[in-house]
Amino acid sequence: MGFSLKERLRYRFQRYLSKGGASIFMSLFVVFMILFVLIIAIRFIMLQVSPELGHPEHTSFWDDIWKTWLQMTDPGNMNQDNEAPTWLKITTILSGVVGVVILSMLIAFITTTLENVFYNFRKGRGKVIEEDHTIILGWNERVVDIIRELIIANESEKKASVVILSREDKEEMDDLIAKRLPNTKSTRVVTTTGDYANINELNRINILGAKSVILLANCSESSSDDEKMDSDVQSVKAIMAIISCQDGKNRIPIIAEIFHEEKRELISFFKDENIIALDSWDIMGKLLVQTSLTSGLEMVYNEMLSFDGCEVYFYQADWFGVAFGDLPFHFKDGVPLGVYNEIDGLRLRPEADYKLVPDDQVVILAEDDSSINFESSMFIQPQEIELSNKKLQQKSKNVLILGWHNVAEVFIRECSDYLSEGTRVDILFNKPNEQLRKRVDELKALYSGFEITLTDTNPLKLEMLKEVEPFSYDNIIILSQDMSELRADKIDSDTLIILLLLRNIKGEGDNVSETKIITQVLNSENQEIITQTDVDDFIISNKLITMILAQLSEEPLIKTLYDDLFSEDGSEIYVKPADLYITSFPQKLTFADLIGLAARRDEVCLGIRKGNKSKDASSNFGVRLNLRKDEIVEITDEDFLVVLSEDEL
């Protein structure tokens, strides 16, 4: 099919204009110059044909060119031809009209272009020039806590930066960060808006110069399954885009939140240890179980997982064939947890007579990596103290779940590994829908050894809460009161109301209850408020998940430790009564003595918890980790040892 010349010219002109602002500006300028030359030509011809039309004060044709230019650029100069003959004024009028039209178009174009430039500045569309920066892709309720942890981690650096690329509005991101984190210390936080699964956008934020990438889910756990699937697909696409930016070979640690198991398996096909896919809520469920079994465990994790306090490091030295059982007494600062090498992987609590080889790295809990120093000889030795032969017995428990969240399914699943048959789980939810009823029935069939019930009642009503006698249970788990609610502050507000109701109920009773209350706190800023209720000793917060994400971004190898700690089959952290180790109380012992006692039970002692300070938030609820080996502490029958052990018995 043939096209006319007019159609071809129009098509090419449209293609030229589609190239952007420069082509439009150039087109307008060319039109202006063509019309300028045309008007000059008309004026010249008129003067050549009829010289009598010339201006009385006319000196040369160059004067006419200059007057025409002034009239086109500023119509106010048309009065220069007031004395000119009528016919010559025609060119003056043309100059003014053409100038007004073309210059107005140019001014409108320049104004629009500048507005777009400033708009892009506000939206963070410019190129990000940062190096060795941590990149956060996506946005959810955990982003502020992650930034807070990274700020603490970067305190020792003079210049550090965190770059956030998400689909959120830049101004909204900046406002929230400024409100929640007014002092970012040595860390510069840069926000920008864009599609984080797009290669061009990733190159714009200098993905090749990044230190690590944290890839957040773009929806919450309370979202629909379709929304969570879309989030997972977007995350997988983003990982592939990051790899593509590196010519197909990934060299950057990528920590991604993924909801579905099949998508996590898909990511494992990359066979890249630098790419870590986490199910944050699966970890949350495991933490709920471990905390419900062990008092004070949340405070232990708060210190271990945060950059503020004791941290876990991988440390290598010339070991001189030292045995693991003697290793703690070769470090003035630090408690060795296990050994890692590329052949055997991570082994927590290896045999006491295991002799370290040069390729081994020690996984150690220490105040700071700069204070870790292996000494060739032991600087302290534990005393020979009689070890108690007492053992705990696994037993069933009665658990009350107020509200519902998908994390409760993980909680019940994990309980089946820790608790014996006969455990009772009562779920209270206001007007449960058919989906929840069906899911509870499935859990009943799946865990037939447990007695699981769902009751239609409102935990936010004092009378209804009293009827179930909440303090007759061993544990109370407080979750979301509305399955469709996505706002963290609303969920936390409901939690606070329930805690106040529980305090009221407990205050009316005569008996001292040993019920443990575990709350799911989404906004970490609400954690301190909820602590003031004097009811909940143990808070599981989103903050723990953000700590894990932040630590993995700094040291991906630590994933091997988390896999072991949060698995029922591996070693776990427990806060065990002191009478499992000591036969008589009180006793004054060094921390080295406590390490020696725990080692005789094939455990690693990380610290202590003083029972008389279990309600004191200023003393970290009595939890102290990694004490000086020669520090003497008085242990009473109310105290506990924080240990790394195979089980809670």
What integer pLDDT is reported at residue 55 of this predicted model?
A: 54
Q: What's the order of all strands across the beta sheet hosting 538-541? A: 451-456, 424-429, 398-402, 475-478, 516-521, 538-541
Among 125-139, 196-210, 392-406, which stretch is predicted with the lowest mean pLDDT? 392-406
Average pLDDT over residues 152-180: 89
- Rounded distance, CA 305 to CA 382, Å? 28
Q: How confident is the model at residue 252 (pLDDT cuts 50, 70, 90)?
A: very high
Above 90 in pLDDT, residue 543?
no
Kindly report, residue by residue over 56-91, the tens digit of the pLDDT. 555 566 777 777 777 777 776 666 666 666 666 777
Beta carbons of 399 and 425 less than 8 angstroms apart: yes
Average pLDDT over residues 181-207: 92
Beta carbons of 52 and 85 less than 8 angstroms apart: yes
Average pLDDT over residues 344-372: 91
What integer pLDDT is reported at residue 533 of this predicted model?
A: 60
What integer pLDDT is reported at residue 486 of this predicted model?
A: 65
- Rounded distance, CA 363 to CA 366, Å? 10
Kindly report, residue by residue over 430-479, the tens digit of the pLDDT. 999 898 999 999 999 998 889 999 999 999 999 999 999 898 898 898 88
Above 70 in pLDDT, residue 46?
yes
What integer pLDDT is reported at residue 204 of this predicted model?
A: 92
Average pLDDT over residues 279-284: 76
State whether the Cα torsion 552-555-560-564 is positive or negative. Answer: negative
The phi and psi torsions of 460 (rounded to 5 degrees) equal -85, -5
Higher pLDDT, 90 or 262: 262
What integer pLDDT is reported at residue 177 of this predicted model?
A: 92
Percent of the chain's residues with pLDDT above 90? 31
- Rounded distance, CA 581 to CA 594, Å? 8
Kindly report, residue by residue over 88-107, the tens digit of the pLDDT. 677 777 777 887 787 777 77
Domains of the chain: 16-123 (1.10.287), 134-278 (3.40.50.720), 398-542 (3.40.50.720)
Length of the chain in residues, anyone?
Answer: 649
The residue type of 11 is: Y
Q: How confident is the model at residue 499 (pLDDT cuts 50, 70, 90)?
A: confident
Q: Please, what is the average pLDDT of the chain?
A: 83
Q: Model pTM?
A: 0.73
Q: Tell me how many degrees the CA angle 370-373-376 measures, rounded to the nearest 5.
A: 170
- What is the DSSP secondary structure assignment for residue 580, as one 8-state letter? G
What integer pLDDT is reported at residue 77 of this predicted model?
A: 67
Provide the Cα torsion 258, 262, 267, 268; round to 10°: 120
Among 203-212, 221-230, 367-376, 509-518, which stretch is predicted with the lowest mean pLDDT? 509-518
Kindly report, residue by residue over 600-645, the tens digit of the pLDDT. 999 999 999 998 887 777 788 888 999 999 999 999 988 999 999 8
What integer pLDDT is reported at residue 479 of this predicted model?
A: 86
Percent of the chain's residues with pLDDT above 70? 86
Above 80 in pLDDT, residue 531?
no
CA distances from 282 to 254, 347, 563, 567 (A): 19, 23, 12, 11
What integer pLDDT is reported at residue 216 of this predicted model?
A: 92
Residue 22: both structure tokens together: 């420069």
Higher pLDDT, 114 or 52: 114
Average pLDDT over residues 549-574: 83
Kindly report, residue by residue over 119-150, the tens digit of the pLDDT. 666 666 678 889 999 999 999 888 988 999 89
Beta carbons of 335 and 595 less than 8 angstroms apart: yes
